Each structure stands twice: as structure tokens, then as C-alpha cells.
Structure 1
Amino acid sequence: MSILDLIYLVRGNLWRRKTRVLMTLGGVLIGSTTIILLVALGLGMQKNMTESIGKIGDLTTMTVQVPPECTLPPQQRPQQCKNAILNDGLIEKIRKTPQVRGVAAQVFLKGSPTYLRFQNMETNVVVMGVEPALLPSLGYPLGRGELKISANQVVVGPKVAEYMFDLRKNQPVTPDLDLLGAWVDLNIQRTSNREEADRLVQNEVRRLRVQVAGVLAETGGQSDYVIYYPINEVERWNRWLMGRPIRREVDGYDQIVVKMADTRSSASLDAALTSAGYSISTARKIIEQFNRFFMSLQLMLGGIGGVALLISAFGIGNTMIMAIYERTREIGLLKSLGAKNGDIFKLFLAEAAVLGLLGGILGAGLAVGLGELANHSPSNWFSQFNGLMSPTGTGIGGMVEVAILVIPEWLVIFAIAFTTLTGALAGIYPALRAASMQPLDALRHE
């Protein structure tokens, strides 16, 4: 039996039983549509989450810190923390690593707290010290102005002045302030205990007047709320705040920021530093953790859809077994005309596989159509909450449409191939049963 003969017989046999075939195709269609839509839902959730996290930070930038137990005083640190120090030696080792584009130590101003004052408004801020010449190499996106810091110039995050307190009206305000080029005051407060009769707590405040030279672009990460200032100036103020000299070879820096050439080299350095006892934070690691979660979610959702397709497989098997009873004399006639057992087996197996193939194609088409309808529908409720979910905090007023269902080409091809294979597997038993019939018994069948 040639391929053309097989195609001709399959088309004719399926066309003769249109109602039954359509009902069987309906079951396969539902199963394949369910698989595609459920997996597409998981892919859509993964895509939206990955894009949101990717906006929080550069995937090639990592922050190196020491574990919390290693921040205790030297005499209280565990044994494994003795070598986990963020000092200049570690910085030089990282700088010599291939694919490193920039590395710089960072130190927090340890005021308790530090206040930013502009006109009659005030808010508490985080001041971070960094080497001025290295700031441009760390990948911080500049929104406006210049990426330049000095003893009387700072670069601020776009949300530094988001929550201000009006000292005149004695109430909080959230003004839309443009601090670029403005002179602001940083009030640095030191709290000390003085032994007297009633143990008086004394607060000392120093005022530092600086000009805002640049404003970073909004990322949704830590840099949105930080004021960047030269590290030597922060070190000078920290000595005053702590009342003692700072030994970086012992105390270490607060953190080290590393800018890598690509994500692959970033992952390699991440693994090396983690094995050395350091704590690494990067947007890439968060994305990897979510990818593992969503992979498990997609397998679970695909399994649920697979149950629906399994039910349709029983429908295909039932259809083919019924076809055997109805076509027993036809099978006997084919064998009497010279058809071999293998030809009968291929005929019934092909019919079952074609049922799976057609059902998969129809289901894929329906799934793609429903996906487009869901993604572009005005009632896309994911769009309504996108502002709340967005790391940039744009709010509901900045609604944009997001993809609820992501249906890549490989998913469509996989679904069609899977339904075809399911149909073929469901048709193996009926095909074997048809092929094993004796010609004379089949011809005598009423």
C-alpha cells in the first residue's frame, strides 16, 4: 500500500463518519486548547514578572555584601567571617577578573538619621559614599544633569524628595519637586550619651550644604532613594559620627558594586564570591529564582491540560474500536485483495493520528485566537493593576496593556505534535486488533 493509497483511504474513511469524527475532534480540540492556554498563562506571568524585575536593576550589576553575622564587632564574628571582609584587597581581585567593567566600594553615612531640607520641607534620606571617578562606570542611569559628585555636589535618586514633611504647616506633603541645580541642606545628626545625674541624651547636628548636580533615571530599585556623595567625605563624617577612626582592613566597606560585561560573566563571578562566603544580590538572581518557580508552575498547568487531552485519547480509541466493528467486512475484503496485516495496521494507526493532528491544529488556532482576544481586550484586568505591580510605581493613571497569555511558536508546534502522538498511541490497540483479524472470519461477519 503506497502513501497515496493510504492518504486516499484515510480521507475517505473519516469523511464517511463526519458526525462521530467531529465529536472526537471536539474532545481533542478542548484538550489541546486547554494545554496551550494553561501553559501560555504561566509564560505570561513569567514574562511580566521578569520584565518588572529587570526594570529594578541592571542584570549585569551585582552588589557584594557580607552575611549579617559578619557585621558584628570583630570579637563576636564567627570563624568563617574572618576572611569575608569587603576591603581593598577584594576590590583589586574583582577588578582583575575578566569581563569586569567597573567596581567600587560604597559606604553608608551612618547618621541617625540624616535629613534633607529644602525650603520649608524636610525628609530623611540615605547618603551613600562612592568614589567620584568610578560612579559613571557602575551603570547608574542618568536622567538629567551630570553624573558628577564632589565635596559640595551630589547626585540624587528621582524619589529622594517623594515624601516630604512641611515644617510650617506641620503636615506631610508629597510635592513634585525638581531638585536639579537646587542647593539643599543635609542635616547630619549624632546622638551621644553623657553620664550625668539623670543620664542625659545629647543630640548634635551639623549642616552640610550641597548642590544637586544630577538626578538619576527611575529604575524602581535602591538608587531611586539614595543620595550619592564622595566616599572620602562620607568617611570623614562617619569618623565624627562614630567618634573613632575607621580601619577599612578590619571593618570593611558596607558593600561593593560590580558592573560586568554580560550576564554569563556575572553568573560566574557570583558563584565564585558566594563560595568565598560573601552575600550577592542582583536582579539576575531574582529572575533565576522566579524562572525556576514558573517552570514548576508551567509543568503543573501543562499536567492539568494533559488530563483533558488524555480523556480525548480515550475518545479516539473508542472511535477507532467502533470503526473496527462497522468495517469488519471491509477489512476482510482488503485482506482478500492482497492487503497485508501491516497495511491494515498502518491504515487504522494513520486514521487515529490524523484525528489527533486535526484536533491539535483546530485547538491551536482556537487557543491563539483566545489569546489575542484576552491580550487586547479592553477588559484586560492585568492592565488595570499594572501600575500597582510596576516597580516604577506609575500608579493606575499610567495603565499600559500587558500580555496575559504568551503563546510562542514552539508551544503551538509542541501542542500539535503532542496531540498527533496521543492520537497515534490511542490508535495502537484498535490497529493491532484490526490487523489480527482473519480474512474469512471478517468476510462472514454480519
Structure 2
Amino acid sequence: MDLLRMSGSNLKRRKLRTFLTVLGVVIGTASIVVMISLGLGMQQSLYKEVEQSGGLTTITVTGKDAGQSMMAYSGQENSDESTQYVTDRTIKQLSELGHVTTAAPVYEMSVIMLKGKYEAYIQLVGMTPEGLKAKNIELGEGSLPKQGGSQLDILYGNTVITNFSERNSQSSYWDTGELPEIDLMKDSVFLILDQDGYFRSQEQSFGNSDSGGNESGGPGESQPSQPVKKHAVTASGIVAGGPDDYNANAYSAFCDLETLKKVLKKDFSGRTVPGQPTTKSGKPYKEFCYTSAQVKVDDIDKVEEVSSIIREMGYNTQTNAEYLDSMKSQFAIVQAVLGGIGAVSLLVAAIGIANTMMMSIYERTKEIGVIKVLGCSLKNIKQMFLLEAAFIGLIGGLVGNILSFIMSGIINFLTGNGSAMGIDGNISYIPWWLVLLSMGFAVFVGVAAGYFPSLRAMRLSPLAAIRSE
């Protein structure tokens, strides 16, 4: 207790010097914590995205191109090596493999949605009920699309509303900052699956208006195209989040796969469905081909084994575990660089602590000599100076962490909780273990910086110290 009291009173003697030294530790600690928190924030976002994509036991299987996917699978670098289409027969084969619990087909296509004066180009994803449940989609309102029936039920991503723009001006949310006057949860929207037909009809309408409505019907003039089928669809639900909140399911619209196949076959009767393969004679392929398949494995240790078997079958595979491992190694490098930048500030603070302690020894030389003569042990003198340095580190670490939480909150606010950076979640994340680790590190730096000054104080000659002025 005497040592603690003496150390505290010695720091109070030179308040301004102590304050400036502590300030250096505050800035150093806050720099390290905030820098590391940026890497941790990106890592948390990655974990959340992987969870929304089915977790670490999910394998994405792709074959020859089918559908109109806007998503690029990282496992498709060698997609030209794939020799098979993903069909119902494929799904059956995958579901019969060992350690596979479910195999669900996925079909993606680009569609057009119309509502009043607005239009939007949306990525429509058809999935089975089992596949949708496996995606762990967090719903803001409503429910997952209904199975069966003749009409499509749509689950909208939370940012789909921002894709709608005015047909005449082409102004959208990203231009004006104002959302279109559409309530996706309540309003019925027209869905067009035949994009090419829609574009032809638009060009023909534009051409007719340019020609002044010539109805002579002479030879060589284009005949009116067949009206494009418009489907009135309603929402089953909306993914959780606002129009600026990014997540793995934010930009897509989901529907029941079997219902989508029925509607496509009816709309394109006698024609090839967009994205579907054709035979050498140009006729539609006999089987419906999917964009990909989502395979769920019962054990994370068996994921690579199952992936190897699927690749031997002639398909490409991509697993969340592989993606996570590659990203974690990148994040480790980012965190090391950011932490190193912050550590420079703490190193400067350590030099400040050492300077403060050395100045304190020079000013208290006589005092040190007196307490030595009075019988104070060398160990106690060393401990007293180390405690002073530890106090500086402790106070600086505590205030530095408080400052880091404030800075982290400001960063998250300015970036819209990560949406401005295109990530799902806060860009800065400070876990409690980082708080405790940074405080311990600040105290350690303080003690290390005060170690050599404390040795100097311990080695001072008592008689020389008493005689000094």
C-alpha cells in the first residue's frame, strides 16, 4: 500500500507531464484497437455471409452453363472443363452420395418487373423449399414463398426496391436518394420472364412512333410481334434490412422452383427457355437444366471428400469452407498491417514513458538517496518506479479503449453500418477480448518502458544521491 500511495503521489507532482505521457498511451492504444477492429469487422461480415449461404457444410455444384446467373462462383475458374449439365438426374445422384443430407437445385435468371411508371431488372432465383430453408434467410416480414400453385410468389431481397427506376427518365434511388412509390409487400407487380420479347416489343413501339404510324402493310415491313406475357405477382415476404443494408440475399428475388418451371414451360411453349441449352438441331434440350445445386453434408470433415467425388463425376464444386479459409488468410494479413500501423503510435508512447521516468529520477535523486539510507530495499525502489510506469499504461489503456469505442461508433455511423463499404454488418467491431488484451498490452508497454529507468534508480549511490543538488 505504501508503494502504491507513493507512486500515485509522485505522478500527481508533475500533472502536466503525466497528462502528456498518458495522452501518448491513449492515442497509441486507441490506434491499435481501432485498426484491428476494422479487420475484425470485415471478418464478422464474412462469417455472417457464409452463414447466409448455408454454412460451412454446403457445397455449390455447377456444370455447363444454364440460366442467366449474375453471380460468379469462385469454383468456376475451370467451368469449361465441366462435362455435365445439372439436371434432375444429377440431383438424384448427388442426394444418394454418402454423408449428403440434402441436394437442392437452383435456377437463376434475369427478369423484368414493372409497376406503374417504374421498371426494374432483377435476378430471380428459383429454389426448392428445402433449399430456401438451408440458406438461413433472415426475414424482415412475411414468409418464404409458397410451394406449388400456378402463380409465382416472390420473396424480395431488402435492396430490390432500389433497382426500380422511372422508364422515361431512368432516374432511380441512386440518382435521387428517394425510394420509388412502391410497397413491394402490398402491391402487385408485373413480372416479365421473356426479356428478349419485351425488348423487341419496345423497339417495335419506338419504330412505329418514328414512322408516324404507317399502316400500309407493304412488303418488307416488320410484322407485329406476339404480346409479351406479363405475370401479376405478389410478395410472400421481404428479407430483413433496409434499402442500404447489404447481405448475401439483398439483391435477389426468390421463388418456388417448381412453380417457376411450370410458368416457364407455359410461356415458352415450343421455344427454348432463356439460358437453357439446345440440341445440335436447335431444339430445346430434353431435360430442364439448373444453374447450380446446393449440397448439404452432414459433417464438416467430410466436405472435401464429398467435393472430390462430385468433381470426379464431371462437375465443378465450390465450398464455403474453402472460401472462408482463403479470406481468413487475407484478413490476417490486413489485421497484421493495421495493427502494425497502430503499434507505431504505442511505441512512440513507450519512448515518452521512458523519458518521463528518467526525468523523474533526475528530479528525485536526493529523495532516492534518503529512502535508501532510511533502509528502503533496492527491490522496493525498483517496484515503486515500475508501478508508476504501470499506472501510466493502465490509465492510458483505459481511456484509450473508451476513445476507441467512440471512434468505432463514429466510423460505423459514417459508413452506414458497413453498407457504404458493401459489407453486411459494422465495419468496426471491438470484442471484449480485444479490450482486455489492449489494456494488458498498454500496461506491459508502460512497465517495459520504465524498467531501465527503475534499474538506474536502484543503482544510485546513497551518499552521492544525498550530496547532489
Unaligned runs of 5+ in 2: 69-77, 172-179, 198-221, 241-248, 273-277
What residue is the counterpart of 2:447 in the other structure?
424
Distance 1:97 1:315, change over 3 A: same
Q: Is the 8 A contact 1:46 1:294 kept in 2?
A: yes
CA-CA distance at 1:44 after TM superposition: 5.3
CA-CA distance at 1:421 after TM superposition: 0.6
Structure 1 residues 276-287: aligned runs within 5 Å: 276=311, 278-280=316-318
Distance 1:162 1:345, change over 3 A: closer
Q: Is the 8 A contact 1:135 1:147 kept in 2?
A: no
Structure 2 residue corresponding to 1:155, chosen from 153, 156, 175: 153
Q: Is the 8 A contact 1:6 1:347 kept in 2?
A: yes
Distance 1:271 1:80, change over 3 A: farther
What residue is the counterpart of 1:382 in the other structure?
415
What residue is the counterpart of 2:14 in the other structure?
17
Tell me the SS of whatever aligns to 1:153: coil
Answer yes or no: is 1:29 the counterpart of 2:21.
Answer: no
Q: Is the 8 A contact 2:113 2:190 kept in 1?
A: no
Q: Is the 8 A contact 2:143 2:237 kept in 1?
A: yes
Amino acid at match of 2:397: G
Structure 1 residues 139-150: aligned runs within 5 Å: 139=135, 143=142, 147-150=146-149
Give the whole-Å Cα distance in 2 for the aligned partners of 1:207 and 1:16. 86
Distance 1:92 1:202, change over 3 A: farther
User: Hey, which of these two has a bigger chunk of strand by percent?
Assistant: 1
Answer yes or no: is 1:246 the counterpart of 2:298.
Answer: no
Distance 1:11 1:285, change over 3 A: same
CA-CA distance at 1:147 after TM superposition: 0.9
Tell me the SS of whatever aligns to 1:34: helix
CA-CA distance at 1:423 after TM superposition: 0.7
Distance 1:406 1:209, change over 3 A: closer
Unaligned runs of 5+ in 1: 72-77, 191-200, 393-401
Give the whole-Å Cα distance in 2 for the aligned partners of 1:327 and 1:259. 71
Answer yes or no: is 1:269 the counterpart of 2:266.
Answer: no
- After superposition, the C-alpha distances for 1:284-314 in whole angstroms (9 at most, x for unaligned) are 8877766655554443333222212211111
Give the whole-Å Cα distance in 2 for the aligned partners of 1:184 and 1:349. 73
Give the whole-Å Cα distance in 1 for the aligned partners of 2:142 and 2:61. 25
Tell me the SS of whatever aligns to 2:253: helix
Structure 2 residue corresponding to 1:224, chosen from 234, 253, 266: 253
Answer yes or no: is 1:321 the counterpart of 2:351.
Answer: no
Q: Is the 8 A contact 2:144 2:236 kept in 1?
A: yes
Normalised by the length of structure 2, the TM-score is 0.62
Tell me the SS of whatever aligns to 2:360: helix
- After superposition, the C-alpha distances for 1:311-350 in whole angstroms (9 at most, x for unaligned) are 1111111111122222333333333344443333222222
Give the whole-Å Cα distance in 2 for the aligned partners of 1:203 and 1:97. 55
CA-CA distance at 1:107 after TM superposition: 4.7
Distance 1:387 1:39, change over 3 A: closer
Tell me the SS of whatever aligns to 2:24: helix
- After superposition, the C-alpha distances for 1:27-86 in whole angstroms (9 at most, x for unaligned) are 222322333344445555666x559957986657764323779x9xxxxxx899367653
- After superposition, the C-alpha distances for 1:218-268 in whole angstroms (9 at most, x for unaligned) are 4745641778435477579587423446366xx96431134678xx84x96
Amino acid at match of 2:294: V
Give the whole-Å Cα distance in 2 for the aligned partners of 1:121 and 1:368. 43
Amino acid at match of 1:382: T
Q: Is the 8 A contact 1:117 1:187 kept in 2?
A: no
Amino acid at match of 1:153: Q
CA-CA distance at 1:424 after TM superposition: 0.7
Tell me the SS of whatever aligns to 1:224: strand
What residue is the counterpart of 1:86 in the other structure?
86
Answer yes or no: is 1:415 the counterpart of 2:438.
Answer: yes
Distance 1:182 1:116, change over 3 A: closer
Give the whole-Å Cα distance in 1 for the aligned partners of 2:36 and 2:47. 18
CA-CA distance at 1:420 after TM superposition: 0.7
Q: Is the 8 A contact 1:332 1:442 kept in 2?
A: yes
Distance 1:350 1:375, change over 3 A: same
Give the whole-Å Cα distance in 2 for the aligned partners of 1:438 and 1:363. 38
What residue is the counterpart of 1:197 in the other structure?
none
Answer yes or no: is 1:334 the counterpart of 2:371.
Answer: yes
Tell me the SS of whatever aligns to 1:256: strand
Identity within the alignment, %: 25
Structure 1 residues 256-405: aligned runs within 5 Å: 256-258=293-295, 265=300, 269=303, 272-273=306-307, 276=311, 278-280=316-318, 293-369=330-406, 371=408, 374=410, 380-383=413-416
- After superposition, the C-alpha distances for 1:98-138 in whole angstroms (9 at most, x for unaligned) are 574x43224568xxx9877899999877776666x767655
Distance 1:437 1:64, change over 3 A: same
Structure 1 residues 154-233: aligned runs within 5 Å: 154-158=152-156, 176=182, 212=233, 215-218=236-239, 220-221=249-250, 223-224=252-253, 228=257, 229=259, 231=261
Distance 1:163 1:291, change over 3 A: same
CA-CA distance at 1:422 after TM superposition: 0.6
Amino acid at match of 1:154: L
Give the whole-Å Cα distance in 2 for the aligned partners of 1:212 and 1:326. 83
- After superposition, the C-alpha distances for 1:151-194 in whole angstroms (9 at most, x for unaligned) are x333345459965998xxx997977487988897765979xxxx
Amino acid at match of 1:217: I
Distance 1:123 1:294, change over 3 A: closer
Distance 1:254 1:21, change over 3 A: closer
Normalised by the length of structure 1, the TM-score is 0.65
Tell me the SS of whatever aligns to 1:427: helix
Amino acid at match of 1:434: A
Amino acid at match of 1:312: A
Give the whole-Å Cα distance in 1 for the aligned partners of 2:130 and 2:448. 63
Q: Which of structures 1 and 2 has the larger relative contact order (alpha carbons within 8 angstroms, sep 6+)?
A: 2
Distance 1:231 1:346, change over 3 A: same
Distance 1:352 1:253, change over 3 A: same
CA RMSD in angstroms, aligned pairs only: 5.4
Amino acid at match of 2:16: T
Distance 1:38 1:429, change over 3 A: same
Q: How many residues align?
A: 400
Give the whole-Å Cα distance in 1 for the aligned partners of 2:5 and 2:14. 15
Tell me the SS of whatever aligns to 1:217: strand
